[in-house]
Amino acid sequence: MNGEFPVRFSPHNAKLSRRRFLKLTAAGLVAVPAARVAMAQNAEKVDVNSDAAKALDYHDDASKVTNPKRKKDQFCHNCQFYQGKPADASAPCTVFGGKQVANKGWCATWTAKT
């Protein structure tokens, strides 16, 4: 993988379901190894207007999310895919191929840290 979001989007799969995405992630088809993410501390930010961001309803400011799935205490900084400290303004996200996401962001793949 080259750091780009590895799932190709088309009109046929633009509505990639959260369940399918999680299955792909669990199967290792879209996840980025942790070591690679660790090297991506200076990676580019996720473009909120990209197909990948839109498919997962990513926002860099969770207060602007209208998705009814989001609970008010859900942010990137408390998601298991966030590879930084909660106080970091941004950090790599494994779901987005190691690109930086905002600590106050959110997407439909949010999963509580365990």
Please identify, using beta-carbon distances, which residue of 11 and 72 lies nearer to ligand SF4.
Answer: 72
DSSP assignment string, the chain: --SS--S---TTTTT--HHHHHHHHHTTSS---HHHHHTTTTPPBP-TTSHHHHHTT-BSSGGG---TT--TT--GGGBTTB-S-TTSSEEEBTTTTT-EEETT-B-TT--B--
User: Using CB under 6 A, which residues numbered 16 to 55 contact ligand SF4?
Assistant: none
Residue 58 in contact with ligand SF4, rule: CB under 6 A = yes
Please identify, using beta-carbon distances, which residue of 5 and 58 lies nearer to ligand SF4.
Answer: 58
Q: Which residues would be at the binding site for ligand SF4 (CB under 6 A)? A: 58, 76, 79, 81-82, 93, 95, 101, 105-107, 109-110
